[in-house]
């Protein structure tokens, strides 16, 4: 079995409050992007993972794909050993949620491969045990998210008139560090309301609470956002806790950039993904 595990951007991200369980309540709009890692599942004598492509920090045995396997194996004894092959095309630690997607796609693939019969809601509950971004990739369509990110409400967002540019300078941002810098504050207007404004008004309305501290620590990330606007972006924002930045451009424009060669740079045409 082979599946293509995508990623996301956050169109706005507000940290609303600190929870008693140590996590944070937030609100964001998740938007899936057609950039893919590749995950293959093969029957094997023992469960393991072979990772190829872009480097993944840390011990391979701690990969979220294996965590997903063992999470389900604990409850479903009929699951037999699997050798996972993961081709990483999407940068790690960039705020694009590619690792979270890998974990979520492992869950959905194992559910299908072993006929576990798990519903979408049940898969979301398993995904939440892997990470706060993981439930979104079970739904995998534009959503307004609240709570830790697991309270998901599908939205209609028409970006078909735009192309998107994603830029990542290769800086790994620690999510726990990023959250530690934030002073939670309830927004005066919900992002669910702001996202319905004309896209030309997003620049003055939609924010990412992580930008201020991440830009201070890594000015080159703020420079990317500024360069996107200079090139004609209608809207630009850092995704998640960084370090990737995205810009929306009208489809009939061809923006030109002079980013360093080691930067991850992708141009993506967007269809109506509502």
Closest CA to 208 of 2, 21, 30: 30
Ranges in the chain, pLDDT < 50? none
pTM for this model (two decimals): 0.94
- From the candidates 6, 8, 88, 163, which is the catalytic residue? 8
Token pair for 109: 């693939």
Instruction: Give the per-residue pLDDT at 272.
Output: 55
- CA 91 to each of CA 99, 171, 200, 221: distance values in angstroms, whole numbers, following the listed order: 9, 10, 29, 15
Domains present along the chain, CATH in parentheses: 2-154 (3.30.230.10), 162-269 (3.30.70.890)
Helix (H) or strand (E) holding 6: strand 2-18
Instruction: Give the per-residue pLDDT at 270.
Output: 82
Instruction: Give the per-residue pLDDT at 22.
Output: 86
Instruction: Give the per-residue pLDDT at 175.
Output: 87
User: Residue 66 and residue 70: Cα distance in Å, rounded?
Assistant: 6
- CA 107 to each of CA 43, 64, 168: distance values in angstroms, whole numbers, following the listed order: 16, 10, 27
Long-range CB pairs of 233-238 (<8 Å, 24+ gap) are 233/165, 234/162, 234/199, 234/200, 234/202, 234/203, 235/199, 235/202, 235/203, 235/206, 237/9, 237/10, 237/11, 237/12, 237/206, 237/207, 237/208, 237/211, 238/95, 238/208, 238/210, 238/211, 238/214
User: Residue 52 and residue 269: Cα distance in Å, rounded?
Assistant: 26
Instruction: Give the per-residue pLDDT at 58.
Output: 87
Quick check: is 133 catalytic? yes
Q: What are phi and psi of 230, to 5 degrees?
A: -60, -30
The answer to whether 232 and 5 are in contact (CB under 8 A) is: no
The answer to whether 252 and 226 are in contact (CB under 8 A) is: no
Token pair for 142: 């534009």
Q: What is the pLDDT of residues 64-79, one digit of tens each?
A: 999 999 999 999 999 9
What is the separation of C-alpha 144 from the centre of its chain, rounded to a whole number of angstroms? Answer: 13
Instruction: Give the per-residue pLDDT at 130.
Output: 97
- From the candidates 6, 133, 163, 209, which is the catalytic residue? 133
- CA 24 to each of CA 137, 159, 175, 224: distance values in angstroms, whole numbers, following the listed order: 19, 29, 12, 28
Q: How many other C-beta atoms are found inside a 10 Å radius of the C-beta of residue 269?
A: 11
């Amino acid at each position: 079995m082979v599946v293509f595990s995508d990623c996301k951007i956050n169109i706005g991200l507000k940290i609303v409050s600190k929870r008693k369980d140590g996590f944070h309540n937030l609100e964001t709009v998740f938007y899936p992007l057609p950039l893919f890692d590749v995950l293959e599942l093969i029957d094997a004598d023992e469960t393991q993972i072979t990772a190829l492509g872009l480097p993944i920090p840390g011990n391979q045995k701690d990969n979220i794909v294996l965590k997903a396997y063992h999470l389900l194996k604990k409850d479903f004894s009929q699951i037999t050993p699997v050798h996972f092959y993961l081709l990483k095309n999407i940068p790690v630690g960039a705020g694009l949620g590619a690792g979270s997607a890998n974990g979520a796609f492992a869950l959905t693939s194992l559910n299908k491969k072993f006929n576990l019969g798990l519903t979408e809601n049940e898969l979301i509950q398993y995904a939440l045990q892997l990470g706060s971004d993981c439930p979104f990739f079970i739904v995998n369509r534009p959503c307004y998210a609240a709570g830790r990110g697991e309270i998901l409400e599908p939205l209609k967002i028409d970006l078909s008139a735009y192309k998107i540019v994603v830029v990542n300078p290769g800086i790994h941002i620690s999510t726990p560090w990023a959250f530690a810098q934030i002073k939670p504050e309830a927004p005066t207007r919900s992002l669910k309301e702001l996202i319905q404004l004309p896209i030309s008004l997003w620049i003055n309305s939609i924010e990412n609470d992580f930008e201020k501290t991440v830009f201070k620590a890594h000015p080159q990330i703020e420079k990317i956002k500024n360069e996107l606007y200079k090139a004609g972006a209608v809207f630009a924002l850092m995704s998640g806790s960084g370090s990737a930045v995205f810009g929306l451009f009208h489809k009939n424009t061809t923006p030109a950039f002079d980013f360093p060669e080691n930067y991850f740079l992708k141009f993506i045409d967007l269809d109506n993904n509502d």
